[in-house]
Chain A
Amino acid sequence: MGGRMIFARRVAAIAWKDLIAEWRDRESMTAMCFFAFLVLFLFNFALGGDQTLIRGASSGLLWLAFTFTAVLGLARSVQGEMTNDCLDGLLLYPAEREAIFLGKLCGSFIVIMLVELISFPVFAVLYNMDIWSQLPKLLLIAVPATFGFATAGTLLSTMTVGLRAREAMLPFLLFPLTIPLILAAVRGTEIVLRGEVFELAMPWLKLTGAFDVLFLVGSLLTFELLIEE
């Protein structure tokens, strides 16, 4: 078996471990889905039920719901390793530190993507949006944006996990840094939902790509330093 295969299997093993743990209690999935639903529901009241206003702001509202929700999942993913000294066990796993990072990242990414997929129908119903015909295009926007968000989030939650004020610190560090992603996702979704040509979303996709590369490379280079401290 080639070295690359082994590396990929290790990444998959860690991601799989996280997903099984998540499936066993389903605690964060339930909390995240409920939270996303709640945010989408409350925005309706915040905007006074004005349908034109809501339609105009809908993609922004959707992504605000997703970013708030994702923070919950990201915090829990690393937090889970702190109880019962799981982190020490994880570090004993004979894998490169990069594999551990990528495994945790994949686990979080899949959980957040699932929550987004569950939220889409809720969004479509509550805001009267036809998203079914546009779903593939929406995913083209959502997948890279969510991946970048999960990357930055996994790295930053590794930093904030041991802190007293971690619940406040993670969003405080994560949101300013991920503004390009949130913006790109909101604009991209807007273009898709309005039924405009997909070409218009290309600059936003490129921006998402640039961000993903920066944070993925940055995380892979520095994760070892963070976890070893």
Chain B
Amino acid sequence: MDGNSVVGEAAIRAGCQCYFGYPITPQNELTEYMATHLSKRKGCTFIQAESEIAAVNMVFGASLAGVRVMTSSSSPGMSLKQEGISYLASCELPSVIVDISRGGPGLGTISAAQSDYFQATKGGGHGDYRTIVLAPSSVQELADMTHRAFDLADTYRIPVIILADGVLGQMMEPVEFKHEPPERLPVRSSALRGAKGRPRRIVKTCTSNPSEMEEINWSLYRRYQLIREEETACETFLVEDAELIVVAFGIAARIARGAVKNARASGLKVGLFRPITLWPFPSNKVEELANRTKYFLDFELNMGQMLEDVQLALNGKGEVFFYGRPGGVIPTPSEVLRVISRHYYQKGLK
């Protein structure tokens, strides 16, 4: 199965009851999968919305009604969704948003890029809010993280973004689904469906009271701190004795992994560090690695967006080199290996 369809199937198995989307390449297979498979299921709905703005607001409505709901898009569409994501965050409405990103800015290209890192991790919409951002790097992970995204969204009442890219979305790989679809679709206890037998509920973002606004933001902030402590995730590969560690996420991490293996084969002590959650960013782990290794190479399919987070995490404790390609063209592992070797020898690490 292609990565996009895998996300769809995993969502259905996670109990996703509603999907609202608007076509955009390279994620159309996901929208089409939901049209074909989700709408067949009892109690489930698929709508091809009139725009990404409408789709994300339909997500808002379905989440109000207490069900698991998802939308997906790609870069230009994600820009349109930002208004809704800010409102979802403010109203603490669980939701899963998949960004199979492409090259930009503007209409850009449909091939892979990682140039939406800033937008996904730093807000994108207005206000002091965060979203959890998961960055899979294989089709199997697309499946697993889709499931996890729904759980995280419900646990923390927060929108969760899965940030993948065109290559992953189109890629075919064997995949194992670890869950069966639930027989009965759950409804969250906080749902808005009419105030039968209980006091009415209101879900709002607007307040004319400055101290109420402050309290809302404090409460969101405390939740974000908790997520930082509990849910930060990363993966390391051959870092124990590494003299140089490549930092990369998503599809770039996959390329980097190949480069690291080849480097090892030629005797270079190189490791890989891959953030799995881009927000919260695994800063502590980077700092910890800097106690053992002085040199880092940040590799991304953009011109250095995650680099800022790596530098912040290192806080001067190590030296970071950067290698980026601005997206569209996918570099090979040997290209990355050449960059690794250059820095490795220049620093006299051999």
Partners in one complex: no
Binding site for A on B (CB under 8 A): none
